[in-house]
Amino acid sequence: MTEFRRSNLQSGAPWETEVGYSRAVRTGRFIAISGSAAIDADGQLVGEGDMYAQAKQCIAVIETALERAGGRLSDVVRTRTFVTDIDRWAEVGRAHREAFGDVMPATSMVEVCRLIDPRMLVEIEADAIIGDD
């Protein structure tokens, strides 16, 4: 039986230590990316009021975490998207299609009543598997 080493990858966000989670966790070929909001490297919200811009930033955060874990967007097999207004799903869908249109991961989009910051409109999680079967 193959034993896989676990790597917890931090982004430096203050919530990681406060809540007790990792931005990404890699075990073998599998990478799980935590819910990613539209926060830039300086901890500032990107795209206030703009669901498309926030979704793009969420995906950028995911891409950075994947790269640090040894993966890339093309390795993504599943995404989960949480939005505060499902009537605006097409804005998020466009950003998702731009990033994953060639990959076509399994996905879901769910409306939630709110996210941790009331200015946040979108949060996206991703799972990836690196390499061939």
In the chain, what is the greatest distance between 2 CA atoms, to the nearest angstrom?
A: 50
**pLDDT per residue as tens digits for the range 82-129:** 999 999 999 999 999 999 999 999 999 999 999 999 999 999 999 999
Mean pLDDT of the chain: 93
Q: In which domain, by residue range, is 119 found?
A: 6-129
Domains contained in the chain, number: 1
Question: Domain for residue 28, yes or no?
Answer: yes
Q: What local confidence, expressed as pLDDT, does residue 9 receive?
A: 83
- Any alpha helices (H) in the chain, and if so which ranges? 14-15, 51-68, 89-100
pLDDT > 90? residue 46: yes
Question: Domain for residue 70, yes or no?
Answer: yes
Question: Domain for residue 36, yes or no?
Answer: yes
Q: Are the C-beta atoms of residues 13 and 43 closer than 8 Å to each other?
A: yes
**Single pTM value for the model:** 0.92
- CATH code (residue 108): 3.30.1330.40
Question: Domain for residue 79, yes or no?
Answer: yes
Question: Domain for residue 1, yes or no?
Answer: no
The band of 132, judged by pLDDT with boundaries at 50, 70 and 90, is low
What type of residue is 58?
Answer: C
Question: Domain for residue 19, yes or no?
Answer: yes
Question: Domain for residue 102, yes or no?
Answer: yes
Q: What local confidence, expressed as pLDDT, does residue 55 receive?
A: 98
pLDDT > 60? residue 1: no
The band of 3, judged by pLDDT with boundaries at 50, 70 and 90, is low
Q: What local confidence, expressed as pLDDT, does residue 14 receive?
A: 73
